[in-house]
Structure 1
């Protein structure tokens, strides 16, 4: 189904691009440790920058993780169900729990980001960084998570058996 491929593709691309951020904040941490302990000249900006990069990294990978079924799941009941019943229980779970949560996350993060933008919010650290880009990424992440949920429900509704099988994440 084209819409499923499009949504999955968007989250796949975003996930792969955002994964590079881990390398960036690791490099900054290594640089800061080197400057602090080897040269005795700690940076004033590294802690704040890595904190924001990690927040961005963490929140932006939600849709990617859902696409790859990497979220924590408790399958105590559904593991013993047949594929048909399991599929309907999972669809009901998306409708009752996931979509209301994702909608509230999107709505509240939009308000949160716009308040930060309008106030020109800055961090309190030694180097004052703008906070609104991180808060705007929360809204983008909520939208990515929401559309990935739509993709997952469509896969379930279209009887895609591969969606129900646990994936090897190791």
Structure 2
């Protein structure tokens, strides 16, 4: 189904791109530690910047994690069920639990990001980094998670789950 491929593709691209952020913030942490303990010259900005990058990393991987079934699941109800009843229970879980949560998360994170953008919100401290990029990322992540939920629901609705193929 083209819609499923489109949503899965978007979350795959975002997930793979965002995974590089981990390397960047690890490099910044190492850089700051070396400056702090070897040269006794800590940076003023590295700690705040790595917190921001970790926020990007953590939040933007939600849709990617759902695509690859990496979210924590409570399978106590479904683990002993045959395939078809399990699929029905999982399908019911999306409209009852996932979609309401994902919609509220998307809507409120959008308002949260909009308010931050309009105020030009920054961090407190010696270096004032803008906060709104992280909050915008949260709104984008919520929308990606909602879209991936739609994709996963459609996969359950149209037939047996195809195993995702890892590329490269």
What is residue 106 of structure 1 aligned with on the other side?
A: 106
TM-score (norm 1): 0.94
SS of the residue corresponding to residue 79 of structure 1 reads: coil
What is residue 134 of structure 1 aligned with on the other side?
A: 134
Distance 2:26 2:13 in 1: 21
Distance 1:44 1:161 in 2: 49
Distance 1:142 1:35 in 2: 37
What is residue 69 of structure 1 aligned with on the other side?
A: 69
Unaligned stretches of 5+ residues in structure 2: 164-168
Preserved contact between residue 78 and residue 86 of structure 1 (Cα < 8 Å): yes
Residue 69 of structure 1: how far off its partner (Å): 0.1
What is residue 21 of structure 1 aligned with on the other side?
A: 21
Residue 17 of structure 1: how far off its partner (Å): 0.1
What is residue 85 of structure 2 aligned with on the other side?
A: 85
Distance 1:118 1:54 in 2: 23
What is residue 166 of structure 1 aligned with on the other side?
A: none
Note the 1:1-170 alignment, pairs <5 A: 1-162=1-162
Distance 1:161 1:101 in 2: 23
Instruction: Kindly report the root-mean-square deviation, in angstroms, between the aligned alpha carbons of the 2 structures.
Output: 0.8
Distance 1:47 1:71 in 2: 28
Residue 46 of structure 1: how far off its partner (Å): 0.2
Residue 162 of structure 1: how far off its partner (Å): 3.7
Distance 2:60 2:27 in 1: 20
Distance 1:121 1:161 in 2: 43
Aligned length: 163
TM-score (norm 2): 0.95
Preserved contact between residue 48 and residue 125 of structure 1 (Cα < 8 Å): no
What is residue 166 of structure 2 aligned with on the other side?
A: none
